[in-house]
Structure 1
Amino acid sequence: MGLIAPVIIIVASIGIAFFISIFLNPRVAVISYFIYCFVISGLLRNIDGVPFGPVMEILLLLTWITMLVNKSNFKLSSWKNDYVYITIIWFVINLLEIVNPAGASFLGWLNEIRFTSLNWVLLAPIVFVMLNKKNDLDFFLKLIIAMSVLAGLYGVKQLYFGVSGPEQKWLDDGADFTHIVFGKLRVFSFYTDAGQFGASQAQMSLVCLVLAMGPFKIWKRVLLFFAAALLFYGMLISGTRGALFALVSAAFFAILLSKNFKVLIIGSIIAVGFLGYLKYTTLGNGIYQINRLRSALDPQDPSLNARLMNQAKLKSVLASMPFGGGVGVSGMNGAIYNPDKLLSTIPPDSYWVKVWTMYGVVGLVIWFSMNTYILGKCCGIVWNIRDDKLRVKLIALTAGSAGLFICSYGNEVMNGFPSSMILYISWGFVFYAPRYDTPLIKTKEANS
């Protein structure tokens, strides 16, 4: 068998060691899932013929199986809370969409539900049952920052040293239409596309910046400032205009939740000044990334007008479809599995619009209400946290998730990886956070 034999032996040995490790410690499986969410798109793009997609669900199922096997180590009843109940309700709604009268393809539904609901309903309880210690929150923050910085560095490599052979083939096969603009590469790193990369980098840049202003050691704050700057640059080189709204809206939430009047005033002035610079000046127009970002504030932008025209078409089609065209009828799965449906031919250009297309106005109202309830409760929890270090971490996660949600009006961000994973886990940590908080009696003693 030549070289194949030792390769098979090595891979099998690693696989056996991995399975043993996850049964000894189920956290290994879910941490592997976190990392995998960052790299899956890069693996799919660079390695042909390997079914990397289902590995996500396999890792989550392994997490649940090993958690149940080791149930004596976990308090399984901890999953009972309103956040997890919401995910279950949404999952049930997605199951009911099988019988949507619009008659969308079953295969389209099966592929789409993995992203719209299945991963969320499997992931949400894990924070409460397994990742329910303070150091789990710290580890999660370190992991997503480290992986985001790695993605940013790889994006810089793509910009200055070129893309790999398989990445070039991906561009040549049609992705260049959206990723080569005026001869300039919109950097996508090892994410699904430049839109996902730019929005995620914007979110994580804000997370690092908030943490850098927290009551932590100087060397940590310096590293976080450098990480924030790199990730902001990653946002710029992605050429993703919607990422600007992720950054600005996340900054607004962070400033508001800080409960610091001075920070609120200064932060608002900086944010308004930055938007004014982009909107009312031409400084920096020679720099492609700035010019591209500036076009996001142009009401005459052709891309914006095309989106509005598509929304007008959808409004006409969906007027008689209060429950939408069915899960999987829009976007990539719509084009693949429902090419005979009119809705599949109209680009949603937005996750909010995609939800409207698939679930109709009824589903959109339910989905929007669920998300705003979760965000609102997260803000209320953060507002009442007494531990200063914990509050800063929760502000970073809550503001970042708010930015992703708002940015998803312009791009399908919160439904893609790694953003969806970061979003769902962040919400779980914030909901669980009051149990980490400093007891009120200690706070009173400290002030006396």
Structure 2
Amino acid sequence: MHNTPGLNQRSKVAITIISLVILICLCTSVFIVELGVLAPALVIAISCGIAMQICFIQEPKMIIWMMIFYIFTFGILGREIGGFPYGTLQEVILLMGWFTVIFTANRYDWKVLNNDCVWLLLIWLGVSVLEIANPAGASPQGWLQEIRAAALYPFLFVPLGFLLLKKNKDLNTFLYLILALSLLASLNGLKQMYIGLSPGEQRFLDEGAANTHLIWGKLRVFSFYSDAGQFGASQAHLALVALILALGPFKWWKRALLLIASMIMIYGMMISGTRGALFALIIGLMLALLLSKKFKVMIVGGLIALSFIGFLKFTNIGNGNYQILRLRSALDTKDASLNVRLVNQKILRDYLQSRPFGGGLGVIGVWGETYNKDKFLSTVQPDSYWVKVWAMYGIVGFILWFCIMMYILGKCCGIVWKTKDHGLRIKTMALTSGYAGILFCSYANEVINTAPSSFVVYISWVLVFISPKIEEELKNQHIRSLKPNR
């Protein structure tokens, strides 16, 4: 019996890397007196990193699943342990992922990257890189921080998805993973609401977050995430995905569990106090009804949605409940918060009229306050990712970004519309509708560029784009199952 060349190569790689780990540990132990406590921490970190790299080489799809798991949960590390910018480990996982696929390049069909989604993201990355030369003179440090989420993450992560994800099993794994992690976040949110905060969560409020997360003495639940806005939007996004899947041709107990999960996540959205998340549900649900191609379902679903909006808009029922009252304020045109946002947008419109390419990346929002305090735009709160893109890239960049987002949405809708397999159609419809909800919810909150929503959207694009190949796989499986056994 002979071993396969691939197995020999993998064994050699594993032995080489393990030997490197041992060598590093020995070298570090020599300097343990000088390094002190840092020495064992360094050994552990390097060992974990190399072990992870071995795992990626042996099973490359773990790159995607590890990233998805991490972006849902790294907030726990930041709050409860601290002392390290855990967000930067997103780049570490991405770089390790690209090292893996380049090191094992012969395993992949690189032609799959020749698609309009990847090309559009490359164009957007190019525009973002050119923004460093924006004549407004924004700080290069702010540009470097902002470009990561604005353009670099999608450009690095989406191609990885196209290279590594191919089968229906991958689609199912992704759905199980994001729904399980979102439900875990819901349960932690309920713990915050009804049991109390952990020491790290309380410290988060004490260090300034209380200004935006304690309204009228009521906690805006944020769970594991960066803030309540991201938690609420993500809960609405994945509640919608679970709700649509619950209507699919699956076993009754799976549909029941999906429906229960959806209701829990909708409650998670409500206790976050994130009013804009309501529109993620409404927009996503409307698109799902349209893509269903069922006239009766569209009418009934539309009437239910309109009735719910009417209940919030034109009645006072439930005002004694803080969550319902806050959700109702999202539809109040006289709401003070809405008027402040409109005033800010008018200020930006006047300022940006003579700046078609905006003020540069990192000039507004958190990075503006940190690196561009001398710029006018740093004094204005965007309160919206649409507004933030407009301020940074100008009207020219905003139109380009919006056209890219709408093109991808339209392409996804076209793919779903043509899908014949009912189960696959429901899954891709759920992902497409979720993306639409997050995109339009980002007019009210900065969510589509923030983990975990951003990375969930990126892989949703990939899985919808490759779904015609998945449908072909399912068709072939069906044909094989019909052939008589010999």
Q: Same fold (TM over 0.5)?
A: yes
- Report 1:171-186 matches (<5 A): 171-186=205-220
Residue 303 of structure 2 is matched in structure 1 by 269
Structure 1 pair 99–422 and aligned structure 2 pair: CA distance change class (3 A): same
CA distance in 2, matches of 1:429, 1:75: 16
- Report 1:177-326 matches (<5 A): 177-326=211-360
Compute the RMSD of aligned alpha carbons.
2.2
Larger Rg: 2
Structure 1 pair 343–420 and aligned structure 2 pair: CA distance change class (3 A): same
- Per-residue CA shift, 1:196-255, capped at 9, x if unaligned? 000110010010010011001111111111110110110010000000001100100111
Q: Percent identity?
A: 53
Q: Which moved more, 1:120-129 or 1:293-302?
A: 120-129
Residue 337 of structure 1 is matched in structure 2 by 371
CA distance in 2, matches of 1:16, 1:360: 43
Residue 59 of structure 2 is matched in structure 1 by 25
> When the two structures are superposed, what TM-score results if normalisation uses the length of structure 1?
0.96
CA distance in 2, matches of 1:169, 1:58: 27
- Report 1:116-135 matches (<5 A): 116-135=150-169
Please say if residues 79 and 201 of structure 2, whose CA atoms lie closer than 8 Å, have aligned partners that are also in contact: yes
1:165 partner letter: P
CA distance in 2, matches of 1:39, 1:293: 26
CA distance in 1, matches of 2:474, 2:152: 38
Q: Does 1:415 align with 2:449?
A: yes
Deviation at 1:275, TM superposition (A): 0.3
- Report 1:71-90 matches (<5 A): 71-90=105-124
Q: Does 1:403 align with 2:434?
A: no
Residue 69 of structure 2 is matched in structure 1 by 35
1:150 partner letter: L
Structure 1 pair 7–353 and aligned structure 2 pair: CA distance change class (3 A): closer
Residue 363 of structure 1 is matched in structure 2 by 397
Residue 85 of structure 2 is matched in structure 1 by 51
How many residues are paired up?
446
Deviation at 1:416, TM superposition (A): 0.5
CA distance in 2, matches of 1:296, 1:87: 32
> When the two structures are superposed, what TM-score results if normalisation uses the length of structure 2?
0.88
1:188 partner letter: F
CA distance in 1, matches of 2:317, 2:138: 49
Could you tell me which runs of 5 or more consecutive residues in structure 2 were left unpaired when the two chains were aligned: 1-31, 480-486
Deviation at 1:184, TM superposition (A): 0.4
CA distance in 2, matches of 1:441, 1:20: 35
CA distance in 1, matches of 2:337, 2:292: 36
Structure 1 pair 52–245 and aligned structure 2 pair: CA distance change class (3 A): same
1:146 partner letter: A
Could you tell me which runs of 5 or more consecutive residues in structure 1 were left unpaired when the two chains were aligned: none
Q: Which moved more, 1:10-19 or 1:226-235?
A: 10-19
SS in 2 for 1:38: helix
Deviation at 1:17, TM superposition (A): 2.7
Structure 1 pair 314–8 and aligned structure 2 pair: CA distance change class (3 A): closer
Q: Does 1:386 align with 2:402?
A: no
CA distance in 2, matches of 1:191, 1:226: 22
Structure 1 pair 176–22 and aligned structure 2 pair: CA distance change class (3 A): same
1:334 partner letter: G
Deviation at 1:431, TM superposition (A): 1.1
